[in-house]
Amino acid sequence: MAFTLINIVVMCALIFGLYAMQKRHVSFSIRVFTALGLGILFGVILQIIYGAASDTIKNSIDWFNIVGYGYVKLLQMIVMPLVFISIVAAFVKMKLKNNVGKISGFIIGILVGTTAIAAAIGIGTTFAFDLEAIQIQQGDAEIARAQQLEERLGDMESLSYPQKVIELLPGNPFLDFTGARSTSTIAVVIFSVFIGLAYLGVRRKNPSHAMIFANLVDAVHAVVMRVVTLILRLTPYGVLALMTKVTATSDYGAIWKLGEFVLASYVALLLMFIVHLVLLAIAGLNPFTYVKKAFPVLAFAFTSRTSAGTLPLNIKTQTNELGVSEGIANFSGSFGLSIGQNGCAGIYPAMLAVMIAPTVGIDPLTPSFILSLILIVAISSFGVAGVGGGATFAAILVLSAMNLPVGLAGLLISIEPLIDMGRTAVNVSGSMTAGLLTSKATNELDIKVYAAETNDLEEA
């Protein structure tokens, strides 16, 4: 217990140091980067001293989670109110109106299209590193994971694609506001659009009633955005605690054994991130500006491994830092949670498929296999929205569609958290890129805001 207390005191000291940086008006990005570095260093030191499986580490992390997962919980708390009120406010302020279909089409097209590119990158990287599933040994954990995946496959196959599309619709919006379903966020987006369209109709027929509603929406929107700002002030502390947990509890032995796959995965993820930057450059946007302003968002996504928890920071950064309108930022961020995830639904299942194919006598080098895989990955990246669950479910969908054994996807369970960090960051970057490109294509991007110096999110 004494050692746990010492660790807690050290964590408190690090938090105080970050707070002191804030009082000296050190920029938000620098504080997030500092928190990331301190978390890595502190976590590694804890594991060296105590060992990843020690009770001291476990007890210390339980306390650290008050800061880390407490921050994630606060972000998750505001996700649904933020999505709903921001989209409705966009209608009230006439920022969406008749462009809803066009905006949605652009965003979904970009998300799915970039996922197809991500699949091609995953395939190429797997070939370059000559990765095969037979190179990985199966232990008890891997076998148990394989059995779980086989069971989940049965549950997923019970839903057809039309049924998955129906799952997107808000049968009970109050239930979806609780986030009870994997598709709740998209359902709330759809419900918000209906409310916005209804407002436009009321405004034409009864302007006085519409004015009352508009004033109410403006007031609620202002309060919700203030709550978002208050929560985002805690980002450096959340990143510190989450990164400490990751590095203190990681199985470095397993990472070393599967180091080639980890390296290949991050090479593929880095290449996909570069694709995002190239697309922005083609659209006439400075990619270095994007990297600078998006860093706090991507750093939190990396450490937390939650795209949903990153959504408030994602939307706030798109609107305040990158010049994307609130309506488009909410659409791209919300759709990006479960449609066309470049890392989880693109790179990862494509790499697994190429690795597993030789185990059943299929040559993954044939053009027909490669083209089929890219097409299935792109289609399945939309289908994941109907079942939820991220990379694992995307892998199950793709492997089953390619008639490959889904159980072998469990071979990488020991390094799953480490790879998932990079995948989540790329997923979030993909949604932000979709928002920027859509804003640029529809002439709704505020170039002055994009090109301006970084604003401290806490000053909003």
Dihedral sign, CA of 195, 200, 202, 207?
Answer: positive
Using CA atoms in the order 51, 55, 58, 62, what is the torsion angle rounded to 10 degrees? -150
Whole-number pLDDT of residue 388? 45
Cα distances from 50 to residues 2, 41, 303, 359, in angstroms, run: 13, 14, 22, 40
Amino acid (one-letter) located at 453: E
Q: What is the DSSP letter of 390?
A: T
What does the buried/exposed string (b/e) look like for 269-306 if buried means 16 or more CB atoms within 10 Å of the residue's CB? bebbbebbbebbeeeebebebbeebbbbbbbbbbbbbb
Cβ pair 175, 163 in contact under 8 A: no
The whole-angstrom separation of Cα 427 and Cα 58 is: 30
Predicted model pTM: 0.80
The whole-angstrom separation of Cα 287 and Cα 333 is: 19
186 Cβ partners below 8 Å, 6+ apart?
168, 334, 335, 337, 338, 339, 385
Q: Which two tokens stand for residue 191?
A: 């419900």
Q: What is the DSSP letter of 24?
A: T
What tens digit of pLDDT does each residue of 114-126 get?
999 999 999 999 9
Q: Which segments of the chain have a pLDDT < 70?
A: 94-98, 134-161, 163-165, 182, 254, 257, 383-390, 407-414, 454-460
Cβ pair 168, 387 in contact under 8 A: no
Domains of the chain, earliest start first:
2-459 (1.10.3860.10)
Measured from the Cβ of residue 399, the count of other Cβ atoms closer than 10 Å reads: 24
194 Cβ partners below 8 Å, 6+ apart?
none
Cβ pair 294, 32 in contact under 8 A: no
Cβ pair 240, 67 in contact under 8 A: yes
Whole-number pLDDT of residue 371? 93
